Amino acid sequence: MDNGTAIRDFLISRRARISPQRAGLSTRGIRRVPGLRRSEVAALAGVSLEYYTRLERGNLAGVSDSVLNAVARALQLDEAERTFLADLARNCGPATRRPHRKPHGAAVRPNLLRMLDALNGSPAFVLNGSADLIAANTLARALFAPLYERADPPNHARFVFLDGRARQFWIDWDRIADDTVALLHVQAVRWPYDKALANLIGELTTRSDLFRVRWARHDVRAHTTGIKRLHHPVAGPMELTFEVLTPAADDDQALVVYGAEPGSATADGLRLLADRVATRGEQPDDRDTGRI
C-alpha cells in the first residue's frame, strides 16, 4: 500500500470536512471546493502554503512532532486521527529507516489461550490485524456461530461485507461496517508490509461496492469499548458490551471480551448459549475447531 497516497488522501479528506465557519474563518465569494483551502489550513497551522502543500502531496518525511500537532489542530483531528497521522509520518521516508513491524501471525501464546478459557462466562476471542478470529472460547464460538459456518478461522471483515447473513446478524450493520473499515485503515498504516492485510483490503475493494465507498472516506476511529447489538439465530436480539485489550507482548493481536448487564435478556441469552455448549460437551481444547 502506497504510504504517500494514504497521506494525501487522508489530509485532503480531513480538510474537506471542515467548513470555514467551523474553523472560525470568514469567507467571501464562491468557493469551488468543499471545506478549507490549503492556504487556510497552512495559516491555521502556522506553516507556509508551500510547506503544507508538500505535506498534502504525501511527504511527511522529517516532519517534527510540533508541526504534526499544529496540522492536527488545524484539521481538528480527534485522538484516533492524530495517532493515525503520527503512524503515517512514522512510515514515511526510505524503507531502510522505517521501523520494523512484524506481520500478523496466527499463533496465540498459551497464556492468552488460558485466559480465554478462564473467561468461561463471557464470550472472548483474539483478533489479529487482518480481522481473523484466530482463537476463541466456547461461548464466543456459540455467539458468533454464523461466522464459523463458512471459514476457520473466520474473518470479521469478510463476514460483514461478503456474507448476506451479516445484515440479519448485526442489527446496526451500517455502524459495524463503518467501524470495520475505519479499523482496517488504522491497521493498514500500522502494518504496511502485511501481505495478508493488503490482500484482504484488495479483495474487499474488488468484491464490495459498500466497502469501496467507505474505504474512500478515509475515516479512522478508536475501537476499544462500547455496545454492539446483534440478532443471534438461537438467542434472539442481544445488546452486548465489549472491551478491546491489546497484550503488550502481542501488539498485532487484540483480546475482545463481550458481556451483558446482569438480569438482562442478553444475559439470559448468554446463559442459554452456555447451556447448549455444556449439553454438547464441548471442551476447552476444542476452541480451535471452529465449530459449536
> 74-121, pLDDT tens digit by residue?
999 999 999 999 999 988 755 434 444 555 556 899 999 999 989 988
> Per-residue DSSP letters for 43-79?
HHHTS-HHHHHHHHTT--TT--HHHHHHHHHHTT--H
Question: Cα–Cα distances in Å, from 93 out to 22, 56, 62, 97?
Answer: 33, 15, 8, 7
Report the alpha-carbon distance of residue 220 to residue 72 in Å, rounded: 14
Q: What is the pLDDT of residues 31-40, one digit of tens each?
A: 877 899 999 9
Higher pLDDT, 32 or 292: 32
Assess contact for 19 and 27: CB atoms under 8 A: no
Report the alpha-carbon distance of residue 246 to residue 255 in Å, rounded: 6
The pLDDT of residue 283 is above 60: no
What letters, b where the CB count within 10 A reaches 16 and e where it falls short, cover 153-169? bbbbbbbbbebeebeeb
With a pLDDT cut of 90, the percent of the chain lying above it is 74
Query: Which amino acid, residue 61?
Result: A
Average predicted confidence (pLDDT) for the chain: 89
CATH architecture of the domain 3-97 equals Orthogonal Bundle (1.10)
Report the alpha-carbon distance of residue 97 to residue 49 in Å, rounded: 27
Residues of the chain with CATH 1.10.260.40: 3-97
The pLDDT of residue 155 is above 50: yes
With a pLDDT cut of 70, the percent of the chain lying above it is 91
Question: Cα–Cα distances in Å, from 287 out to 116, 136, 137, 269, 275?
Answer: 9, 6, 6, 20, 16
Cell, residue 153: 478461522
Q: What is the pLDDT of residues 237-267, one digit of tens each?
A: 999 999 999 988 888 899 999 999 999 999 9
CATH 3.30.450.180 fits 110-288, yes or no: yes
The pLDDT of residue 236 is above 60: yes
Assess contact for 25 and 40: CB atoms under 8 A: yes
Report the alpha-carbon distance of residue 292 to residue 290 in Å, rounded: 7
Cell, residue 291: 465449530
Q: What is the pLDDT of residue 290?
A: 37
Tell whether the torsion through CA atoms of 160, 105, 200 and 187 is positive or negative. positive
Helix (H, G, I), strand (E, B) or coil at 142: helix
> Per-residue DSSP letters for 161-214?
HH-TTHHHHBTTHHHHHHHHHHHHHHHHHH-TT-HHHHHHHHHHHHH-HHHHHH
Residues of the chain with CATH 3.30.450.180: 110-288
